[in-house]
Amino acid sequence: MNAARHCSLYISSYGHQFVVSSICKTASEARGAFQKSVPEVIFCDIRLGKDNGLKLLEEFRTAGWAGHVVIMSGYREFSYVRDAIHIGIEDYLPKPIFPDDVKKILSSISTKIGKENTSIESCLLKGTRNNYPGFIVKALDYVTLNYVEQISLTAAADYSCVSVTYLSTGFKKYTGYTFIEYLNKYRIEIAKKMLSETNR
């Protein structure tokens, strides 16, 4: 069994917080999976068949993806580590990969995500968005205007005049949430506010 399969099993056994959405053998497969479902965490081998995993991750970063990265590889040369640091990695998993190592990394990522969400929630849901680019502000406005309807990322992208992929990666980068996560949180906050006003 290869490193990716081992790692996916260890991730799946960690708990419900992390779900393996796809296992890709090539950069092409990874791009396709990324477009279908933008991940919060990527475990990536330096070699993806004949492709370079670090170049693929740099491609995702350039597109605006701000998720967590864990590099898997048997290569220990400084040049690879240096390049991995350049694209912003969470940790480095040398092969062979062991369950305890994966568990420690996931625990660390889980803590960071929790802190990020707490910080973002205290700011974003209160309407502080002065530093967001125009298309993100438009997407947020779209949610505010249409949250009671059955809306989608595609509709929000049309309203914001950008592609679905661009909005998806950008939304996560600037808000810390996927579009659907933000929509659900916004609805919950509105419901809490209405309930609080009703009980006064």
Question: Where is pLDDT greater, at 1 or 5?
Answer: 5
Q: Is the pLDDT of residue 41 over 60?
A: yes
> For tokens 């991995």, what's the residue?
84
pTM > 0.75: no
pLDDT(31) > 60? yes
- Looking at the chain, the whole-number percentage of residues with pLDDT higher than 90 is 6
pLDDT band at residue 28 using 50, 70 and 90 as cut-offs: very high
* Residue 171 reports pLDDT greater than 70: yes
Does residue 174 carry a pLDDT above 80? yes
Side-by-side strand order, sheet with 91-94: 41-45, 68-73, 91-94
pLDDT of residue 159: 92
- Cα-based torsion angle of the residue sequence 167, 169, 172, 178 in order, rounded to the nearest 10 degrees: 70
Query: Residue 60's pLDDT band (boundaries 50, 70, 90)?
Result: confident
Q: Is residue 118's pLDDT more than 80?
A: no
Q: What value does the mean pLDDT take over residues 147-156?
A: 87
Mean pLDDT of 125-144: 78
147-174: average pLDDT = 88
Which of 35-49, 64-78, 166-180 shows the lowest per-residue confidence on average (mean pLDDT)? Answer: 64-78
pLDDT at position 38 over 70: yes
Full DSSP string of 136-196: HHHHHHHHHHHTTS---HHHHHHHHTS-HHHHHHHHHHHHSS-HHHHHHHHHHHHHHHHHH
> How sure is the predictor about 125, in pLDDT bands with cuts at 50, 70 and 90?
low
What is the token pair recorded at 2? 């290869």
pLDDT given at position 158 = 92
